[in-house]
A and B are shown apart, each in its own frame.
Chain A
Amino acid sequence: QVQLQESGPGLVKPSETLSLTCTVSGGSINNSYWSWIRQSAGKGLEWIGRIYTSGATNYNPSLKSRVTMSVDTSKNQFSLRLTSVTAADTAVYYCVRWSSNGYYRKHYFDSWGQGILVTVSS
């Protein structure tokens, strides 16, 4: 099974930009949808957005104005940028793969990174 690993700063100042990278190993990044999901302390899972290996993106409407995702297939990596962060963006950020099997009607988040805690604080 593919493995995912998040990397990036664990501390970001308010109003600055959060940047994370996910490295995919044990398999190809091609022909899949890749998402970022976060969980704030005491809150549930929030889907941030997804990118296909073609570079096509979709974002959560509540975050769309601040989110940009990109993919580098040569490095088997995809990335997240979240601008103008506040304390409300403090969370564990997961990079995740979406798996689809139409024959079995089975579509789900099947591979998750371990998560990276990003704290927004001055």
Chain B
Amino acid sequence: DIHMTQSPPSLSASVGDRVTITCRASQSITTYLNWYQHKAGKAPKLLIYDASNLEAGVPSRFSGSGSGTEFTFTIRSLQPEDIATYYCQQYENLYSFGQGTKLEIK
């Protein structure tokens, strides 16, 4: 099975800051990686698919990059509504999630 290591587990940043989350796969997953935003009481929402493609309707301040085993998720300018937990998820071999990054406003 493929293990996803996501960091940091939590992050405190100010409005307008650039925020970066990393995700590392235990083996190559090419670009079979998604990023989700999960707010309390709601279903997780897809933000990025195939490692770097922005889901329709998602603000352009969100972006993803990477391939193989190393991936990065970036929020270019943090907004108050971005407070949530973010997860990477691989689908190269079945499915698995990173441990999540809880994002808070400083």
Which A residues lie at the B interface, using CB under 8 A?
Answer: 35, 43-47, 50, 58, 60-62, 94, 98, 105-110, 112-115
Whether A45 pairs with B87 at a CB distance below 8 angstroms is: yes
With both beta carbons as reference points, the residue of chain A lying nearest to B34 in the complex is identified as A108
Residues of chain B at interface, number, CB under 8 A:
23
Distance between A89 CB and nearest chain B CB, rounded to angstroms: 17
Expressed in whole angstroms, the Cα–Cα distance for A96 and B46 within the complex equals 13
- Whether A47 contacts B46 in the complex (CB less than 8 A), given A60-B1, A107-B91, comes out as no
Whether A108 pairs with B49 at a CB distance below 8 angstroms is: yes
Chain A residues within an 8 Å CB radius of B32? 107
Chain A residues within an 8 Å CB radius of B100? 44-45
Expressed in whole angstroms, the Cα–Cα distance for A72 and B89 within the complex equals 28
Chain B residues 51 to 104 lying within 8 A of chain A, measured CB to CB, are 53, 85, 87, 89, 91, 94-100
Expressed in whole angstroms, the Cα–Cα distance for A118 and B26 within the complex equals 31
Which B residues lie at the A interface, using CB under 8 A?
Answer: 1, 31-32, 34, 36, 38, 43-44, 46, 49-50, 53, 85, 87, 89, 91, 94-100
Chain A residues within an 8 Å CB radius of B49? 105-108
Whether A112 pairs with B94 at a CB distance below 8 angstroms is: no
Whether A58 pairs with B94 at a CB distance below 8 angstroms is: yes
Whether A61 pairs with B46 at a CB distance below 8 angstroms is: no
